[in-house]
């Protein structure tokens, strides 16, 4: 039985719903806005998180709090089909809330439903270079995912080389989040971090030449929305970053998990700066499908603007309850 087959026929009774605003200052002068979808039925509720980065998207969505045709009797699969016209981020919010509610109405945890035992989750922290020393001062064993920059000196690289599990070149993104191809930077980072995954390089003839000796360490994130995206890559990777909200539907995500397992492709998890229930959900998925990996799913405290004491260290111990929640 496929992973999706294990959950697709779960019964789902929705009586009402709410769209709850959620926001947090994540950097000085920058507030991130999100929407929590709350589905209610049978004395239970399911929650999911819309992670679009555009605040106007959340404004418009929250104004529709009485308009969405969600109430009724469904299976998880029939509910999913009704969301096929939504954006991937919106669809993930609705479907993850539906999965949570359906599991709670059935009295099952996700692990019980798919026949997997949750394990402690190894995690890394994605942060700015300027914060690394402060975090390491409090948590000497902490590992990191960093975005290399052409301004990094050899001295800077030497001080962090033993703590970096993933170097994200941001070469697939466009606009303000993207970075242009830089063969000199790629070559320096590949040599300086010989055991790190090299994520999302922009492949040109020049960058391909310098990365060829490290092809076994190249991994992809921004381009991956379903299994067909893996098949379209220039070569079969050994490892991939899995960000659940990018997949939109539970079906696409679970089919991706099954295909990667079948093809021997390792995974590590990532998120979209989840502020609410989405954070525990990506941690739970990591615990079930790829616990021993450099998962970028650290507890929310690690996203503080300044390093703070008293946070749970890696590996993260989860105590899942009924539903899609850690």
pLDDT tens for residues 219-258? 999 999 999 999 999 999 999 999 999 999 999 999 999 9
- pLDDT tens-digit series, residues 177-218: 667 889 999 999 999 999 999 999 999 999 999 999 999 999
Can you give the pLDDT at residue 66? 74
d(CA 250, CA 252): 6
User: To which CATH superfamily is domain 11-110 assigned?
Assistant: Enolase-like, N-terminal domain (3.30.390.10)
- SS3 call for 55: helix
**d(C-alpha 28, C-alpha 93), whole Å:** 27
Q: Identify the three-state secondary structure at position 22.
A: strand
CA 239 – CA 217 distance, rounded (Å): 8
Q: Where are the domains of the chain?
A: 11-110, 125-303
Q: How far is CA 162 from CA 124, 145, 298, in A?
A: 13, 12, 19
pLDDT of residue 177: 65
How far is it, in rounded angstroms, from Cα 304 to Cα 48? Answer: 22
> For each of the chain's 326 residues, which pLDDT tens digit applies?
999 999 999 999 999 999 999 999 887 778 899 999 999 999 999 999 999 999 999 999 999 877 889 999 999 999 999 999 999 999 999 999 999 999 999 999 999 999 999 999 999 999 999 999 999 999 999 999 999 998 999 899 999 999 999 999 999 876 666 678 899 999 999 999 999 999 999 999 999 999 999 999 999 999 999 999 999 999 999 999 999 999 999 999 999 999 999 999 999 999 999 999 999 999 999 999 999 999 999 999 999 888 999 999 999 999 999 999 98
pLDDT for 281:
99
Q: What's the CATH class of domain 125-303?
A: alpha beta
DSSP result, 88-136: HHHHHHHHHHHHHHHHHHHT-BHHHHHT----PBPB-EE--HHHHHHHH
């Amino acid at each position: 039985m496929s992973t999706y087959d294990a959950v697709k026929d779960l019964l789902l009774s929705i009586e009402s719903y709410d769209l709850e605003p959620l926001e947090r200052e994540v950097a000085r002068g920058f507030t991130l806005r999100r929407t929590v979808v709350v589905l209610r039925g049978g004395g239970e509720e399911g929650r999911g998180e819309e992670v679009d980065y555009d605040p106007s998207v959340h404004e418009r969505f929250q104004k529709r709090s009485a308009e969405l045709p969600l109430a009724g009797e469904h299976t998880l699969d029939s509910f999913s089909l009704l969301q096929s016209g939504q954006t991937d981020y919106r669809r993930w919010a609705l479907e993850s809330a539906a999965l949570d509610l359906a599991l709670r109405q059935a009295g099952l945890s996700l692990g019980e439903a798919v026949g997997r035992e949750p394990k402690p989750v190894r995690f890394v922290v994605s942060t700015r270079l300027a914060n690394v020393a402060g975090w390491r001062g409090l948590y000497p064993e902490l590992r990191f995912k960093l975005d290399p920059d052409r301004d990094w000196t050899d001295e800077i690289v030497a001080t962090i080389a033993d703590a970096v599990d993933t170097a994200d070149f941001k070469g697939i993104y466009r606009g303000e989040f993207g970075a242009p191809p830089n063969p000199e930077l790629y070559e320096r980072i590949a040599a300086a971090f010989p055991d790190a995954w090299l994520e999302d390089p922009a492949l040109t003839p020049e960058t391909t030449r310098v990365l060829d000796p490290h092809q076994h360490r190249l991994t992809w994130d921004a381009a991956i929305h379903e299994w067909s995206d893996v098949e379209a890559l220039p070569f079969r990777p050994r490892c991939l970053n899995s960000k659940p909200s990018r997949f939109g539907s539970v079906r696409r995500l679970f089919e991706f998990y099954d295909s990667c397992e079948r093809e021997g492709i390792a995974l590590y998890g990532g998120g979209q700066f989840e502020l609410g229930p989405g954070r525990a959900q990506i941690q739970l998925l990591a615990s079930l499908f790829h616990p021993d990996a450099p998962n970028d799913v650290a507890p929310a405290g690690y996203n503080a603007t300044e390093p703070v004491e008293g946070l749970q260290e890696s590996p993260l111990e989860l105590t899942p309850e009924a539903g899609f929640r850690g």
